[in-house]
């Protein structure tokens, strides 16, 4: 899976087309480039994506600029993952029930910078572990919670035991039992 994140628009288009030409699955995350891109560019960036990542604002911007409805977008992408801020995340697939995942309880709020990146990193890690989309979003949400609690996007301290404990509190023992075997972080 190739992640095509916000970058130079021409480079993003080139990488997206190369994925299509080579039949590589790709995840589209145009994020801040949406505000500067026109309709044809946005359409080319997301059409055929295996995963489309956005936040609520970006989801509305995609629909506004392309003129596509949510259903039309879902017909063009495999899975649409939308972060909802304090309400968690929504995972949509055409013809399947929507999955919504809440956020883990924060110990404190320090800085939201990097929260979306952390969510996406956790989600993609979950995919690499072959977890369900629900577990992927839970993993992403838990990691995002660590980021929002610290100043600096990579300044949090992560230990396996505390991560699993907090994950269990947020999502239950069954969910934690599916995620824990894949964690490769320092033990406490």
Secondary structure (H, E, C), the chain = CEEEECCCHHHHHHHHHHHHHHCCCEEEECHHHHHHCCHHHHHHHHCCCCEEEEEHHHHHHHHHHHCCCHHHHHHHCCEEEEECHHHCEEEECCCCCCEEECCCCCCCCCCCCCHHHHHHHHHHHHHHCCCCHHHHHHHHHHHHHHHHCCCCCCCCCCCHHHHHHHHHHHHCHHHHHHHHHHCCCCCC
117 is catalytic: yes
Active-site residue identified among 23, 38, 117, 130: 117
What residues are labeled active site? 117
């Amino acid at each position: 899976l190739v992640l095509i994140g916000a970058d130079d628009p021409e480079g993003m288009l080139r990488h997206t087309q190369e994925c299509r030409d080579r039949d590589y699955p790709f995840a589209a995350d145009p994020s801040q480039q949406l505000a500067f891109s026109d309709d044809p560019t946005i359409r080319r960036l997301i059409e055929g994506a295996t995963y489309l990542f956005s936040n609520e604002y970006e989801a509305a911007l995609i629909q506004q600029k392309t003129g596509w409805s949510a259903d039309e977008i879902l017909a063009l992408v495999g899975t649409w993952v939308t972060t909802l801020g304090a309400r968690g995340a929504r995972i949509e697939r055409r013809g399947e029930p929507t999955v919504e995942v809440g956020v883990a309880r924060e110990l404190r709020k320090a800085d939201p910078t990097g929260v979306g990146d952390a969510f996406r990193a956790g989600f993609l890690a979950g995919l690499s572990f072959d977890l369900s989309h629900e577990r992927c979003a839970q993993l992403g949400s838990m990691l995002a919670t660590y980021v929002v609690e610290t100043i600096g996007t990579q300044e949090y301290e992560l230990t396996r035991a505390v991560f699993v404990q907090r994950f269990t509190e947020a999502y239950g023992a069954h969910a934690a039992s599916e995620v824990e075997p894949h964690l490769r972080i320092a033990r406490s």
